[in-house]
Amino acid sequence: MEIFQHILNALQFGSFYALIALGYTLVYGVLRLINFAHGDIFMVGAYIAFFVAVSLLGTGGLPLGLEMNPALALAITVPVTMILTSLVGVALERTMYRPLRRKGANRLYVVITALMAGLMLENGNLALLGATRKSFPDLIDKVVWNLGDGVSVTNLKVIVIVAAIAVFLFLETIVSKTKIGMAMRGISYDKFAIPLMGIPLDTIIVFTFILGSSMAGLAGILFAMSYPILEPYMGALIGWKAFIAAVVGGIGDIRGAIVGGFLLGFIEIGVVAVFPSTLRDLFAFSVLLIILWLRPTGIFGVAQTTKI
Amino acid sequence: MQKHTVTIGIFALFAVIAGLAQAGLLTPYHVSVLMFMGVNIMLATSLNLVNGYMGEFSCGHGGFMCVGAYVSSICTVLMFSKNQMLGAPLLPGYLTFIGFPVALLVGSLAAAVAGLVVAIPSFKTRGDYLAIITLAANYIVISAINNMEIFGGPRGFMGMSATENGMKAVLDIPWMLIFVMLGTLFTVWLLRRFVTSTLGKGVPAISQDEIAAEIMSVDTNRMKLIAFMLSSGLAGLAGGLYAHILGYVNPQSFDIMRSTEIMVMVYLGGMGSLSGTALAAILFTVLMEALRFLGVWKWVVIPLLLILLMQFRPEGLMGNKELSDLFPKLRKYYSFK
C-alpha cells in the first residue's frame, strides 16, 4: 500500500506549503502586495525556534542556565517563536513598506523592496551565523504508528497536518466572522474609504502582518522539527513554492492557499514517486506556468476588472 | 564631422583599450573586469527594454542569459573542442572567427525563443502575475539544466576556452575583449535604434496606457512579443559572451541572484534611460569589485542600497532622461543615431 504512504507524505508537505502560503495570501488580500520576503521570514522563524529551543534546553544559545525537559521547552518555544517572528514581519512593514505606502509609491517599488528585504534576511543570516548548518534539537519523542501493510505515520506528521488545518480554520474564522476580519476585507476593496469609516488602517495592516508572520514562524518550528537541518537559504525555495501554491489557489483567498498548498504537495510527491526526485522543482514550476497560462487568477481567484 | 564623432570616439576608445590590453599595460584582472562590465551593460540595457520602457516587471533575466550561454557554449564546444559527450572537434581552429559569431547568434536566437515562454502569457496577464511567470521561467531553465547530465548537470559545462585559443593561434590579440566590446556596442546601438524608431514608440505606449495604445492602433500583443524576444535574445548574447569569457558555466551562476543583480543595475540607472542604465552597469561592476573585501556582507549591502534607492529616489539616478537631456550642450558636438 505504497500509495497511502505517498498520500501521507503529500499531506505533510502540503501542510508546510499551505502554512506559508497563508501568509502570502493574507498580506496580498489586504494590501495587494506580494510580500516576497515571506519565505525568508519562515527561515528566520526556524532559526528563532532553534535559538529559543537550545537556550531553554541549555545546550547553546543564550546562557540562561535552564535545563528544561523537551516537552516544556516545546510548549514555550512555540509561542515565543511566533511572537518573535511576527516582530520581524512587523519590523519589515514599519521600516520598509509603510514609508513607501505613505509616499504613495508605485506598487513596483514596494515589490522590489520586498524582494531585496528577503535577500537581506538570507545573506544577513549567512554573514552573521556563517555557512555551518544548524541541527535542530529533538523536542518530542518520535512515535511511529504502523497502520499495517507497511504504511507508517509518525506523530510529527500528524501534528503538522493537524496544525495546518487548525490554522486554516482559525484564519478563516477571523477573516470571515470577526470585526477585524471585516476591516481587512474592507481595506482590500477600498484603501481610501476605509479610514473615513473610522477604521485605523495601519493597525489593521500591522495585525495582518502579525498573523501572516506568526504562521510562518509556526511553519518554521514544524519544519525544523521534521527536517532538523537549518541553513540560511532554506526559506528561498520553499517560500517560492508556497507562493506558487498561493497563486495556484488564487492569491488573496484563504481557501485558495490551503487548496493550493495541498495540491502542490500532491503534485510534488506524485512526481517523485514516478520520476527522479531532481525533476520535482521543474514540475512544480511548470505547473505554475501552465495554470497561470490557462487561468491567470488561480482556482478561487476573482478577476479584477480594470476601469478605463 | 559631427555625424561621426560618436562613432569615431567609440572605436578609438575600443582601439585604445585593446591596445593597452595587448601591450600588457592592463593586468588580466582589469581586462576581465572590463569584459564583465561590457556583459553587464548588455544585460542591464536589454532588461531595461522590458522593465523600464515597457513597464513590466521581469525578474527572470538570468534564465534567458543561461539559455544563451549554454546553447552557444554547446555550439562552440561541438565545433572546436574535444568533449567526452560531444566527441572530437568538427572544425579546425582557424574557423573560430566564423564559428564563434555564429554560435553567439544561435545562442541568442535560442534565448529569444525561450523568451516566448514569457511573451505569450504577457498577452493576458501583467504586473505581479507576469513577474511570477518570469521568475518561474528562470527556475525552470535552471532546474532543466541541472537535470541534463549530458551537459554536466549541476557540475557545469566547460571547454569553451578552446574558441579563444583557436583565434589566438592565428593572431595573438585579446579577442574576447574585442568581441565583448563589439557585442556591447551592438546591443546598445540596436536597443537605441529600436526605442527611437516609430515601431519602438509602441513600447513606452504600452507602459503608459495599454488600452489607449491599443486604440491608437498599436498592436500591443505584437509589441510585447517583439520586446520580450529582443530583450531575452540580447540577454542570450550577453550570456554567450559571459560563458566564453569564463570558459566555464554552471547553472547556479544564472539563478535569481544574477537576475537580481541585473535588476539592481536597471533601477539604479533609471527606468527608460539607456545611457543611465549603461552608466549604472559600469558603476555597479566597479562597486562589486570594490566591495569584494566585504565578502558575504556584500549581498547585504547591495539589497540595502536598492531599498534605500526605492525609498528616496525610486526613479533611479537618471530617471527616464538620457545623458544628452541632462547635458544639452553635449549635443553641439555630436549627433547620434
What is the number of helices (H) and of strands (E) in chain A? Answer: 12, 4
Residue A123 pLDDT exceeds 70:
yes
Structure confidence by residue, pLDDT tens digits, A174-194? 988 999 988 988 888 888 888
- B59 contact A CB<8A: yes
Return the pLDDT at B333. Answer: 65
| Closest residue, chain B, to A113 (C-alpha) | B307
Residue B143 pLDDT exceeds 70:
yes
Phi-psi label, residue B227: left if phi above 0, alpha if psi -120 to 50, beta otherwise: alpha
Return the pLDDT at A217. Answer: 93
Structure confidence by residue, pLDDT tens digits, A133-154? 888 888 777 778 777 777 778 8
pLDDT band at A34 (very low <50, low <70, confident <90, very high): confident
Considering only residues B186 and A109, tell me which one the structure prediction assigns the higher pLDDT. B186
The DSSP annotation for A186-211 comes to: HHHH-TTHHHHTT--HHHHHHHHHHH
Chosen from B47, B125, B268, B311 to mutate, greatest number of chain A CBs within 10 A: B311
Is residue B15 situated within a structural domain?
Answer: yes
Alpha carbon dihedral B227, B228, B234, B238, in 10-degree steps, equals: 150
CB-CB neighbors (< 8 A) of A282 in chain B = 140, 143-144, 147
Phi-psi label, residue A198: left if phi above 0, alpha if psi -120 to 50, beta otherwise: left
Return the pLDDT at A295. Answer: 77
Whether B303 sits inside 8 A of A116 (CB atoms) is yes
Is residue B337 situated within a structural domain?
Answer: no
pLDDT band at B106 (very low <50, low <70, confident <90, very high): very high
CB-CB neighbors (< 8 A) of B316 in chain A = none
Return the pLDDT at A87. Answer: 94
Return the pLDDT at A216. Answer: 92
Whether B57 sits inside 8 A of A108 (CB atoms) is yes
CB B19, CB B183: distance < 8 Å: no
| Whole-number Å distance between alpha carbons of B86 and B148 | 14
Considering only residues A47 and A112, tell me which one the structure prediction assigns the higher pLDDT. A47
CB-CB neighbors (< 8 A) of A252 in chain B = none
Q: H helices within A58-200, ranges in order? A: 70-92, 98-102, 107-129, 155-177, 179-189, 193-196
Whether B139 sits inside 8 A of A240 (CB atoms) is yes
Of A105, A110, A127, the CB nearest to B297: A127
- B107 contact A CB<8A: no
Q: Which residues contact B20 (CB under 8 A, 6 or more apart)?
A: B26
Q: By C-alpha distance, which of A41, A76, A35, A40 is closest to A55? A: A76
C-alpha cell of residue B17: 583599450
Return the pLDDT at B336. Answer: 56
Structure confidence by residue, pLDDT tens digits, B280-291? 999 989 988 888
Name the interface residues of A facing B (CB cutoff 8 Å): 34, 96, 99-100, 105-113, 115-117, 119-120, 122-124, 126-127, 236, 240, 243-244, 247, 276, 278-279, 281-282, 285-286, 288-289, 292-293, 296, 306, 308
Return the pLDDT at A236. Answer: 83
| Closest residue, chain B, to A119 (C-alpha) | B303
Structure confidence by residue, pLDDT tens digits, B73-100? 988 888 887 776 667 777 777 777 888 8
The pLDDT mean for chain B works out to 85
Is residue B237 situated within a structural domain?
Answer: yes
pTM of the model: 0.85
Is residue B57 situated within a structural domain?
Answer: yes
Q: By C-alpha distance, which of B17, B33, B26, B117 is closest to B67? A: B117
Residue B12 pLDDT exceeds 90:
no
Please name the helix (run of DSSP H) or strand (run of DSSP E) that holds residue B46, with its range, or none.
Answer: helix B28-48
What is the arithmetic mean of pLDDT over B288-295? 83
C-alpha cell of residue B184: 556591447
Looking up residue B192, the CATH number of its domain turns out to be: 1.10.3470
Residue B1 pLDDT exceeds 70:
no
What type of residue sits at position B21?
A
Of B137, B296, B311, the CB nearest to A127: B296
CB B95, CB B177: distance < 8 Å: no
Alpha carbon dihedral B322, B323, B325, B330, in 10-degree steps, equals: -150
Return the pLDDT at A304. Answer: 62
Is residue B150 situated within a structural domain?
Answer: yes
Adjacent-strand bridge partners of A229: A135
CB-CB neighbors (< 8 A) of A240 in chain B = 135, 139
C-alpha cell of residue B246: 569564463
Range B320-326, long-range pairs (CB < 8 A, 24+ positions):
B320/B52, B320/B270, B320/B271, B320/B272, B320/B273, B321/B270, B321/B273, B321/B276, B322/B273, B322/B274, B322/B275, B322/B276, B323/B275, B323/B276, B323/B279, B324/B275
Helix (H, G, I), strand (E, B) or coil at A74: helix
Chosen from B61, B296, B312 to mutate, greatest number of chain A CBs within 10 A: B296
In sign, the C-alpha dihedral spanning B138, B139, B143, B146 is positive
Helix (H, G, I), strand (E, B) or coil at A145: strand
Please name the helix (run of DSSP H) or strand (run of DSSP E) that holds residue B292, with its range, or none.
Answer: none
Can you give the residue range of the structural domain that contains B111? Answer: 2-332
Whether A285 sits inside 8 A of B139 (CB atoms) is yes
Whether A123 sits inside 8 A of B135 (CB atoms) is no
For residue B61, give Cα distances in angstroms to A285, B75, B179: 16, 22, 22
With b meaning 16 or more CB within 10 Å and e meaning fewer, what string describes A211-226?
bbbbbbbbbbbbbbbb
Residue A44 pLDDT exceeds 90:
yes
Rg (CA), chain A: 20
Whether A292 sits inside 8 A of B137 (CB atoms) is no
CB-CB neighbors (< 8 A) of A279 in chain B = 143, 147
- Counted residue by residue, chain B has a size of 337
What type of residue sits at position A22?
L
Tell me which of A47-51, A88-92, A250-254 is least confident: A250-254
* Chain B closest-CA separation from residue A97 CA (Å): 9
Residue A99 pLDDT exceeds 70:
yes
- In this complex, how many residue pairs, one in chain A and one in chain B, have their CB atoms less than 8 Å apart? 109
Whether A278 sits inside 8 A of B146 (CB atoms) is yes
Helix (H, G, I), strand (E, B) or coil at B92: coil
Residue B218 pLDDT exceeds 80:
yes
* Chain B closest-CA separation from residue A116 CA (Å): 5
pLDDT band at B332 (very low <50, low <70, confident <90, very high): low
Return the pLDDT at A115. Answer: 84
CB-CB neighbors (< 8 A) of A109 in chain B = 310, 314
What is the arithmetic mean of pLDDT over B145-171? 82
Whether A296 sits inside 8 A of B263 (CB atoms) is no
Return the pLDDT at A48. Answer: 92
pLDDT band at A248 (very low <50, low <70, confident <90, very high): confident
Rg (CA), chain B: 20
Whether A100 sits inside 8 A of B59 (CB atoms) is no
What is the arithmetic mean of pLDDT over B3-27? 83
The DSSP annotation for B123-158 comes to: GT--THHHHHHHHHHHHHHHHHHHT-GGGTGGG-EE
Return the pLDDT at B46. Answer: 93
Q: What total number of domains does chain B contain?
A: 1
pLDDT band at A57 (very low <50, low <70, confident <90, very high): confident
Return the pLDDT at B112. Answer: 94
